[in-house]
Amino acid sequence: MNTRLYNARILTMGKNRPIFRGEVWVKDDRILCVLENGEKDCRQAEEPEGIEWDSEIDCGDNLIMPGFKNAHTHSAMTLLRSYADDVPLQRWLNDKIFPVEKKLTGEDIYHLTRLAVLEYLTSGITAVFDMYLMPEKTAQACIDTGMRCVLVSGLNNFTSSVEQVEEEYLKWNGKHELISYRMGFHAEYTCSKDLLYRLAQLSHKYHAPVYTHLSETKREVEECMARCGVPPAVYLDSMGLFEFGGGGYHCVHMTPADMDVFRRRRLCVVTCPASNMKLASGIAPAAKFERMKIPVAIGTDGAASNNCLDMFREMFLVSGLSKLKENDASSLNAMSVLNMATVNGAFAMGLADADVLAEGKYADLILIDLKQPNMQPLNSITGNIVYSGSKSNVKMTMIGGKILYSNGEFHVGDSPESIYRECEKIVRRVTGEGHINSVLQ
């Protein structure tokens, strides 16, 4: 499939490259070339003048840029959107979330993940870093809808094993072009010391990075200190879990010693500002991480705690909350935040071929509508995206060269209405009809 996207403004997210006017050529799932107006040479095309286009799209002087990378989510938790609101984290998990999750089947997770994909596409998200039960069902849902997904194991004392992690690691790395797999565990407080040691051994066997929920609440850090005598990142690093990289989700209450571990090991922080704010967990020191050269990516977390899988809202909150926390209006400018949402997210997820728009990279890109009122005037396009942008500005989402969402229409192999109906059946069965009003009434 050869696609030409022309008459566009282009933000490649390449280092120090400003927005320019030009076009993007796509061949199959890769970018053939990115041309500025006036350029004729496309090094990867043997006969650039003779290409037969399957589709030529006039972008109307709107903006093409890399898709956003949602670097932490639990897709199938769409089930619990607005189900367990206004409850502190530990009660939220133990009294609301875990009891319902025990009732989920693999088919449930498949359909609930497809619902999440629809929302990701409307938000310009082209890849997700997903930790949840039965990852093979998440993978299949993403394959069937065309979403790029990096699975991460949620190893814990109750629902999985190190043997399962190894089996999934070997199965999903290289099995499908849209799916890859990273080692991980749910959290320090849900894993025994023996389990963590065994995961560290597995990480060393494959030289694999490891990821986990980390320092999300003060209580988590205090309890780890009481049990282990050191804060979470220091404790986990002492067992060799971070020798080959990885990172932590949330990282709200990091101690200086924890931050030093992340700096030395080149670990990634994935901040989830809406979820942390809604659960009153706190504000991650994103600007401080940046000053320490710790890579920061952005995630939505799941719809049970957010409740919106919206990268525009996350970007605004990352910058706005940082300014508030630092008492500094210059903290984290718009381009830094866009870099977190694209380049750093790809780095955190191991998607080296999906970070920027360039020859040979995956054709994972979005078209931003600059003609809507919230994008005018164009004093700063990057500023408009971060501070006033919304899902309504996403005209098109392309993943692997396939247009999956365009002008409000989905192209994911099934109708949204069909997906909604399946999810509504699951809600009624798992939570009981009395808990949630039907969206069909």
Q: What is the pLDDT of residue 86?
A: 87
pLDDT tens digits for 159-199?
Answer: 899 999 999 999 999 999 999 999 999 999 999 999 999 99
Q: What are the strands, taking DSSP E only, across 37-135?
A: 55-58, 63-66, 68-73, 125-130
How big is the chain, counted in residues? 441
Q: What is the pLDDT of residue 405?
A: 98
Q: 196 to each of 5, 152, 188, 247, 377, how far by Cα in Å?
A: 48, 15, 8, 15, 53
Query: According to the CATH classification, is domain 2-66+354-410 in 2.30.40.10?
Result: yes
Asked if domains 2-66+354-410 and 68-353 share a fold, the reply is no
pLDDT tens digits for 208-246?
Answer: 999 999 999 999 999 999 999 999 999 999 999 999 999
Q: What is the DSSP string of 212-250?
A: EEES-SHHHHHHHHHHHSS-HHHHHHHTTTTTT-EEEEE
Q: What is the pLDDT of residue 439?
A: 33
The answer to whether the Cα torsion of 299, 302, 305, 308 is positive or negative is: positive
At 27, is the secondary structure helix, strand, or coil?
strand
At 209, is the secondary structure helix, strand, or coil?
coil
Query: According to the CATH classification, is domain 68-353 in 3.20.20.140?
Result: yes
SS3 for 399-432 is: ECCEEEEECCEECCCCCHHHHHHHHHHHHHHHHC
246 forms beta bridges with: 210
The answer to whether the Cα torsion of 119, 124, 126, 127 is positive or negative is: negative
Q: Which helix (H) or strand (E) holds 144?
A: helix 135-145
Cα–Cα dist 324/86, whole Å: 23
What are the two backbone dihedrals, phi and then psi, of residue 322, each rounded to the nearest 5 degrees? Answer: -65, -45
Q: Are 413 and 145 in contact (CB under 8 A)?
A: yes
Provide the token pair at 307.
């409740």
Residues of the chain scoring pLDDT < 50: 46, 434-441
Burial code (b: 16+ CB inside 10 Å, e: under 16) for 53-64 equals eeeebebeebbb
Cα angle: 343, vertex 211, 205; to 5 degrees: 110
Residue in 427, 362, 370 with CA at minimum distance from that of residue 394: 370
At 185, is the secondary structure helix, strand, or coil?
strand
If you ran DSSP here, which 8-state letter would residue 155 be given? B
247 forms beta bridges with: 211, 268
Virtual torsion, Cα 274, 165, 294, 308, nearest 10 deg: -10
Q: Which helix (H) or strand (E) holds 319?
A: helix 311-326
Tell me whether residue 235 is exposed, middle or buried, using C-beta atoms within 10 angstroms of its C-beta: 0 to 12, 13 to 18, 19 or more.
buried
Per-domain residue ranges of the chain: 2-66+354-410, 68-353
Could you report how far apart the first and last alpha carbons of the chain are, in Å? Answer: 42
